């Protein structure tokens, strides 16, 4: 049944009791508009005496044109709401067009409800606004009647739900907010390595190094080539490909790739530092390796602060766009990694001592 006339209800509402006050206002608004809907409080007489398990399966799987699902932590944990959800999702899998219309009150994971499905934020949308949005969906009114539900500045997404919402709405400068969120997301995978770095944790499983001098040389060569990739990732052509030419929308896939490559350098530096401080070497080389591990400190710190600074600037720019429409925003993040000269001088001095001792024994 693909046309509206084939259904008993235009809308069915699925929600947890904790959201009843909100949902009841929506139901009354739809009722005033003459919408045929399934809302339990309005259907008590028809529900009386029925096998609710079978009847609700029919309601949420067969009877309505759309199902508005009010997602929350309470919804996720209750048996009856999960029964309704499973029936509605079975219908959604069979259909050729959208059926489930999510309204979220938090970012709780609802089984089977993909984070990429566009939703309405119940915390920033009044019942009257949601009622109007449903009427637009039903073709009862047009988009001009819809008050803008999002009433606060956009910010970098912190989870999959916020990420999907940003990609759906794509407000002004969404590309930078998306990049900030992707940087934070990618950094999360390296947080254990960062904490190990902070406390100078030594991995006891590291194998013994056979040629200490060659390993040191290879480590610094790897470090130099890894840092050199920053210019490739941030070159003007790559930025245009990710963020789009002036006046055009960016490419989410390329923005994600850029973020992951940038944070990958941060992760590589953490791994080099870990391998140097954990290396099992001859006693003569121990101090040289320990000093060498500190050579990674400054570029690691600079990269970490650069990522957080970008996120702060992106969020501040979003506030400016929200409060001062038409304002000119200029975002020009610069990144230059450096090595601590004092550490490098200590390392070179120690390495000369080691080489002199090695020549003296030969």
- What pLDDT is attached to residue 333? 63
Angle, alpha carbons 28-29-30 (nearest 5°): 90
Higher pLDDT, 28 or 207: 28
pLDDT in tens, 224-246: 788 778 888 888 888 888 888 88
pLDDT at 144 over 60: no
User: Domain limits of the chain?
Assistant: 4-151, 165-361
Predicted confidence band at 360 (pLDDT cuts at 50, 70, 90)?
low
* 61 Cβ contact list (under 8 Å, min separation 6): 87, 88, 90, 91
- What pLDDT is attached to residue 97? 67
pLDDT at 148 over 60: no
Higher pLDDT, 232 or 147: 232
Contact 233/254 with Cβ under 8 angstroms?
A: no
When pLDDT is averaged across residues 279-291 and rounded to a whole number, the result is 83
Contact 121/154 with Cβ under 8 angstroms?
A: no
Share above pLDDT 70 across residues of the chain, in percent, rounded to a whole number: 89
List alpha helices for 234-340, DSSP H.
Answer: 236-243, 252-278, 283-294, 297-323
pLDDT in tens, 84-115: 888 888 888 776 568 889 998 888 888 877 76
Neighbours of 44 (CB within 10 A): 8
Q: CA-based diameter of the chain, in Å?
A: 100
Q: Do 4-151 and 165-361 have matching folds?
A: no
Predicted confidence band at 361 (pLDDT cuts at 50, 70, 90)?
low
pLDDT at 357 over 80: no
- What pLDDT is attached to residue 22? 93
* 319 Cβ contact list (under 8 Å, min separation 6): 153
pLDDT at 2 over 50: no
Domain 4-151 has CATH 3.40.50.10140: yes
Domain 165-361 has CATH 1.10.10: no
pLDDT in tens, 30-56: 998 899 999 988 888 888 888 888 888
Distance CA 109, CA 257 (A): 26
Distance CA 32, CA 8 (A): 18
Q: Catalogue the E-assigned strands of the chain.
A: 9-14, 37-38, 64-71, 100-104, 120-121
Share above pLDDT 90 across residues of the chain, in percent, rounded to a whole number: 22
When pLDDT is averaged across residues 144-155 and rounded to a whole number, the result is 61
* 325 Cβ contact list (under 8 Å, min separation 6): none
């Amino acid at each position: 049944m693909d046309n509206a006339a084939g259904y008993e209800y235009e809308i069915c509402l699925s929600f947890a009791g904790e959201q009843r006050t909100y949902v009841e206002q929506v139901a009354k608004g739809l009722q005033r508009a003459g919408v045929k809907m399934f809302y339990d409080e309005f259907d008590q007489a028809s529900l009386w005496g029925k096998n609710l398990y079978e009847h609700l399966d029919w309601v949420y799987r067969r009877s309505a044109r759309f199902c508005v699902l009010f997602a929350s932590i309470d919804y996720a944990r209750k048996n009856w709401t999960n029964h309704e959800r499973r029936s509605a999702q079975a219908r959604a899998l069979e259909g050729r067009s959208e059926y489930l219309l999510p309204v979220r009150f938090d970012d709780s994971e609802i089984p089977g409800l993909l984070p990429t499905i566009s939703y309405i934020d119940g915390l920033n949308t009044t019942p009257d606004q949601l009622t109007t949005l449903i009427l637009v969906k039903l073709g009862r009114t047009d988009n001009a009647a819809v008050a803008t539900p999002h009433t606060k500045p956009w910010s970098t997404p912190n989870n999959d739900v916020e990420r999907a919402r940003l990609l759906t709405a794509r407000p002004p400068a969404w590309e930078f907010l998306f990049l900030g969120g992707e940087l934070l997301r990618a950094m999360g995978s390296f947080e254990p390595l960062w904490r190990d770095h902070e406390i100078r944790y030594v991995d006891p499983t590291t194998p013994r190094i056979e040629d200490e001098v060659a390993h040191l040389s290879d480590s610094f060569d790897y470090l130099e080539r890894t840092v050199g990739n920053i210019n490739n990732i941030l070159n003007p052509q790559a930025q245009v490909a990710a963020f789009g030419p002036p006046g055009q929308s960016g490419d989410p896939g390329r923005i994600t790739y850029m973020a992951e490559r940038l944070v990958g350098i941060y992760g590589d530096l953490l791994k080099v530092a870990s391998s140097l401080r954990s290396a099992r070497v001859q006693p003569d080389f121990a101090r040289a390796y320990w000093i060498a591990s500190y050579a990674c400190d400054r570029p690691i710190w600079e990269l970490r602060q650069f990522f957080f600074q970008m996120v702060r600037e992106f969020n501040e720019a979003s506030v400016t766009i929200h409060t001062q429409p038409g304002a000119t925003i200029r975002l020009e993040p610069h990144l230059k990694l450096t090595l601590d000269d004092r550490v490098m001088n200590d390392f070179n001095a120690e390495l000369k001592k080691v080489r002199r001792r090695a020549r003296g024994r030969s």
